[in-house]
Amino acid sequence: MTKPMILIVDDDPDSADALGLVVEMRFPASAVVVSYASPEALDIVSRQRPDVALLDMEMPEGGGEALARALREMYADETPLLIAVSANTVLLNLVRDHGIFDQFISKPIDVPALVRMVGRRLAVIDDNPSRVP
């Protein structure tokens, strides 16, 4: 079985890399992949389905919502856990009504809350070893 994949997409490299380090420390048995742009992230997910995707909502060349829609279409049978990330809480509340994301977290990120969100998904994966990546 392959390692669960956690995808982080944020156009701010410092934010993306810092979040990537935190997630790697909290989930060392997972493959953490960081991308700084939606087109690059689409290329990554075309080769492997992430189990969890943390998507920044406000990025040039397509924000997190467009990327989340693409992931839902690409992996309709087994959609990743989609987490909207933004410092813009008004935007997070608007997106909440669209039904695209499973979870929402604002910046600065509440790490314990994020760990609970991701941990619940990874626990489901661990309980299903026959899962096809």
Determine the pLDDT at residue 91: 86
Compute the distance between CA of residue 30 and CA of residue 126 in angstroms, rounded to an integer.
11
Percent of the chain with pLDDT over 70: 93
Q: Whole domain around residue 84: which residue ranges?
A: 5-126
| Widest Cα–Cα separation across the chain | 40
**Residues 27, 105, 47, CA angle at the centre, nearest 5°?**
55
Compute the distance between CA of residue 111 and CA of residue 133 in angstroms, rounded to an integer.
26
Specify the number of domains making up the chain.
1
Determine the pLDDT at residue 46: 95
Average pLDDT over residues 104-129: 86
| Residue 131: inside a domain | no
| Residue 132: inside a domain | no
Is pLDDT at 110 greater than 50 in this prediction? yes
Task: Say which residue the tokens 């909440």 belong to.
Answer: 96
CATH number at residue 76: 3.40.50.2300
Compute the distance between CA of residue 53 and CA of residue 63 in angstroms, rounded to an integer.
13
Is residue 40 a contact partner of residue 87, using CB atoms and an 8 Å limit?
A: no
What is the CB neighbour count within 10 angstroms for residue 50? Answer: 25
**Residues 113, 81, 43, CA angle at the centre, nearest 5°?**
120
